[in-house]
């Protein structure tokens, strides 16, 4: 399946992958799960914020993929099609949760103790630990707070942010996944980012100095100060200017 793994993303080769999947190739399906299980779980978890629900929903996603592969027509990429199913299933699970599960008590164990004495839960085993754009620009503490506040950003803005800023998908891909226009995608991302910024405003004001981050007002003030400094003549330039004035006057 090395050839399959290297094929995804190239149109003609992806067609060969899809052909193998439609033919029921076990190797093709094994590759599909290995390629997409972790990113799909991470996407679903960020929508649901519950590891058990995310695991169940991810399983449902792949069942839908397997059953629906014969209907895949290639109008979008394989990745986009799978992500569309994932977003749909996660949204359905979230709506169900608000109707039913919010009144239940979770039986999920809090965690287990490893040989080194550290406590780990299901989320530690399943959530993707690779760097996201948040990880690249901020301290781990900030990333955790951002993701916590992201869960409180209302849909569909949260999913749009996840797909754009965490999954790093193009506007076109997000439009295909969410089945909305390009303008709607950009609007949802803008509104989602603004909602997230407002939720983080107090936190940034409280600990920004310690963690080396600034509020928008602080960045604007610093930029304005830098602009004033750059427009102010230096001591040498001022002295040369005064010398020229003396020469003209004399």
Q: Label each residue of the chain as H, E or C.
A: CHHHHHHCCCHHHHHHHHHHHHCCCHHHHHHHHHHHHHHHHHHHHHHHCCHHHHHHHHHHHHHHHHHHHHHCCCCCCHHHHHHHHHHHHHHHHHHHHHHCHHHCCCCCCCCEECCCCCEECHHHHHCCCCCCHHHHHCCHHHHHHHHHHHCCCCCCHHHHHHHHHHCCCCHHHHHHHHCCCHHHHHHHHHHHHHHHHHHHHHHHHHHHHHHCCCCHHHHHHHHHHHHHHHHCCCHHHHHHHHHHHHHHHC
The 10s digit of each residue's pLDDT in 197-239 is 998 888 877 766 655 566 566 666 666 766 666 655 555 555 5
pTM above 0.75, yes or no: no
The 10s digit of each residue's pLDDT in 92-122 is 888 776 666 555 554 444 444 445 555 455 4
Domain boundaries, the chain: 1-100+124-129, 131-232
Q: Which fold has domain 131-232?
A: Arc Repressor Mutant, subunit A (1.10.10)
In words, the CATH class of domain 1-100+124-129 is mainly alpha
């Amino acid at each position: 399946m090395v050839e399959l793994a290297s094929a995804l993303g190239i149109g003609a080769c992806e067609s060969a992958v899809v052909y193998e999947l439609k033919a029921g190739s076990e190797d093709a399906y094994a590759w599909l799960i290995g390629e997409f299980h972790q990113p799909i779980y991470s996407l679903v978890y960020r929508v649901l914020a519950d590891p058990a629900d995310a695991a169940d929903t991810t399983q449902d996603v792949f069942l839908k993929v397997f059953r629906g592969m014969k209907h895949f027509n290639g109008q979008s990429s394989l990745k986009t099609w799978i992500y569309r199913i994932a977003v749909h299933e996660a949204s359905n699970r979230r709506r169900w949760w608000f109707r039913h599960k919010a009144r239940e008590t979770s039986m999920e164990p809090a965690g287990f103790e490893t040989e080194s004495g550290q406590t780990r839960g299901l989320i530690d085993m399943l959530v993707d630990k690779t760097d996201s754009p948040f990880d690249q620009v901020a301290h781990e503490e900030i990333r955790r707070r951002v993701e916590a506040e992201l869960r409180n950003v209302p849909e569909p803005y949260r999913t749009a942010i996840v797909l754009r800023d965490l999954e790093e998908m193009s506007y076109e891909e997000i439009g295909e996944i969410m089945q909305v226009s390009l303008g709607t995608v950009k609007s949802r991302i803008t509104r989602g980012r603004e909602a997230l910024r407002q939720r983080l405003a107090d936190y940034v004001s409280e600990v920004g100095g310690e963690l080396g981050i600034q509020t928008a007002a602080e960045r604007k003030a610093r930029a304005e100060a830098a602009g004033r400094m750059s427009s102010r003549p230096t001591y040498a330039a001022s002295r040369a200017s005064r010398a020229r004035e003396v020469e003209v006057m004399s």
